[in-house]
Structure 1
Amino acid sequence: MYVLVTYDVSTIDKEGRKRLRQIAKICLNYGQRVQNSVFELLVDPAQWAECKAKLLEAYKPEEDSMRFYYLGANWHRRVEHAGAKPGVDISGPLII
């Protein structure tokens, strides 16, 4: 399952900045950052359920927003990249 996660976290106070870091860390545990508040996740349904639960627990619905885009199995045809930063094949090998 290929999911695009986007979020907007209020950083007016210290608590908001902490939430922002926490949400980014959760997303990094399941996928890769492609923009400041945009992550691509290639996960199985169990991983997605776990990730989504953690994200919804971390954010504050009165101040923050989250969007999840489900791109499905044919995501290669649905994702197009243009611009300076090269696109990364999330299903390719990971070199650390």
Structure 2
Amino acid sequence: MDLLLTYDVDTTTPEGRRRLRKVAKLCEGHGLRVQKSVFEIAATDVDLLHLLNDIGNTIDGNTDSIRIYRLPHNGFNDVRTLGIARVQSHREDLIL
């Protein structure tokens, strides 16, 4: 499934800044960062459950916000960008 994940972590405290880094790291392990707090993620049901569990164990539910939008099938194939944004491949092999 194609997902768009956004987050807003309260960074007014050192603990909040640590949570922000942890959430970003978790998301980087599952998808592509397309903006500072926005990730495009191609995931299976199991991947999504793991991600939700890991983020749920990381955030402060009283101050932080995570939003996950399920996109239509192959939703990443119909992305329009403006400015410096570029469409990125989600399912092709990565060559290093």
TM-score, scaled to structure 1: 0.91
The residue aligned with 1:86 is 86
Match of residue 51 from structure 2: 51
Change (3 A) 1:9 1:76: closer
The offset of 1:31, in angstroms, is 0.8
Give deviations 1:29-81, integer Å, cap 9, x for gaps: 11111100001111111111111111111111111111001003131455322
TM normalised by structure 2 equals 0.91
Distance 2:76 2:13 in 1: 39
Matched residue SS, 2:29: helix
Q: How does 1:1-96 map to 2 (within 5 A)?
A: 1-76=1-76, 78-96=78-96
When residues 76 and 13 of structure 1 are mapped into structure 2, their CA distance, relative to the original with a 3 A threshold, is closer
Specify the code of the residue in structure 1 equivalent to 2:4: L
Partners of 1:68 and 1:36 in 2: how far apart? Answer: 15
User: How many equivalent pairs are there?
Assistant: 96
Counterpart-to-counterpart distance in 1, 2:52 and 2:78: 22
- 2:32 & 2:71 partners in 1: Cα distance? 15
Where does structure 1 lack aligned partners over 5 or more consecutive residues? none
1:4 & 1:41 partners in 2: Cα distance? 6
- The Cα RMSD (Å) is 1.4
